[in-house]
Amino acid sequence: MSATLRLTEALIARPSVTPDDAGCLDLIAGRLQAMGFVCERLDSGPDEFRVSNLWARLGTGKRPTLVFAGHTDVVPTGPLQAWSSDPFVPSHRDGKLFGRGASDMKTSIAAMVVACEQFVAAQAEPGIDIAFLLTSDEEGPALDGTTVVCDRLKTRGERLDWCIVGEPTSVERTGDMIKNGRRGTLSGKLTVKGVQGHIAYPHLARNPIHLAAPALAELAATEWDQGNAFFPPTSWQISNIHGGTGASNVIPGTVVVDFNFRFSTERTPESLQAQVLDILARHGLSAGADHDITWTLGGRPFLTTPGTLVDAVRAAIREEVGIDTELSTTGGTSDGRFIAQICPQVIELGPPNATIHKVDEHIVVADIEPLTAIYCRTLRHLHAQALQRA
């Protein structure tokens, strides 16, 4: 059994359902400290929802720094009886390792730690600093995790040059896809105001659903942009509509519409908000008098174009597994959106993601060692480049 597999199993065995770390960070910190990392806990949040955060650095902070980032928390298991085995007891069947977090993302964290152990053992004097940024608040609200650590690092002026987030990005086999960016996410809660009344006397009421419908139709049909070479076009989708009292003879007084943008680097949150308000106004819905909107910016888009980090990772993947990896910006959000605010080059690389958040989550054991090797070879590439520049 490989070192990465053993550590993965040890992490899976800790039931770290968000935001509970369940001792994962203590286990990891012990391994990092044995290599010479200086480890710092930056826990945050109220006592009943305390979030565990770890910042660890190997080096003085004066050399180029590669950050390994990830989360120890996992989503709830769902019905235990639906699982073929206990989700927090690592189990092997048919060449696969089963357990909650096997793909998302305890294997990645274990591979990062072991890759660093291998790299440090082979380098008497690394040409780069290595850091870890780990949290137990990625699967939850993400308010007291990576974003808090990034704010602290920014205040202290800590140097970050490259970051690899261990999200499960691969499709068929480890290394076939990496994320070099993510779309931004902007949500809105639109409340359209009407006048409640009897449905048989519509002239005495004002139906907010009827008022909203033309504007919603235009919003749904709008082409917000055409995307670019790295991102698909910005999308706008309704997720919920709530209106009515439950009775069939009452015109409602309000209708509430929840919607979300997934937007590219072609747009800003401010420009999207302004365009929504223009469309509503064009259909006779003025802000304040006829509607209210509450906005929530979940994250701005980020993009890392081919350069030092992307090139090093692509080379490592090619040399270890013989794949010309695909660059992608698809999928949901990740903590990369926070790290990208203080680190110029951020990518995501992890194992296949077919079973993430599912019952019987698992990883093919044969995908584990290549991930460790890719992380380690990336370290060697960045180390060699730093020595050349020195």
pLDDT tier at 61, thresholds 50, 70, 90: confident
Mean pLDDT of 114-135: 95
Q: Minimal CA–CA distance to 133: which of 342, 376, 327, 380?
A: 342
The span from the CA of 63 to the CA of 385, in Å, is 12
Share of the chain above pLDDT 90, in %: 95
Render the burial of 301-316: b for 16+ CB within 10 Å, e for the rest.
bbbbeeebbbebbbeb
Whether the pLDDT of residue 33 is over 90: the answer is: yes
- Size of the chain, expressed as the number of residues it contains: 390
pLDDT for 331 equals 87
Per 3-state DSSP, what percentage of the chain is helix, strand, and coil (rounded to 5)?
Answer: 35, 25, 40
CB contact at 8 A, 310 and 327: yes
What is the pLDDT averaged over residues 115-142?
95
- Residues forming the active site: 73, 138
Give the model's pLDDT for residue 44.
97
- For the segment 40-54, the average pLDDT, to the nearest whole number, is 95
pLDDT of residue 289: 96
pLDDT exceeds cutoff 90 at 174: yes
Distance CA 87, CA 93 (A): 13
In this predicted structure, the answer to whether residue 57 has a pLDDT above a threshold of 90 is yes
Q: Burial level of 165, CB count in 10 A (0-12/13-18/19+)?
A: buried
Residue 1 has pLDDT above 80, yes or no: no
What average pLDDT does this structure show over 254-278? Answer: 97
> Is it the case that residue 349 has pLDDT exceeding 80?
yes
What pTM was computed for the model? 0.92
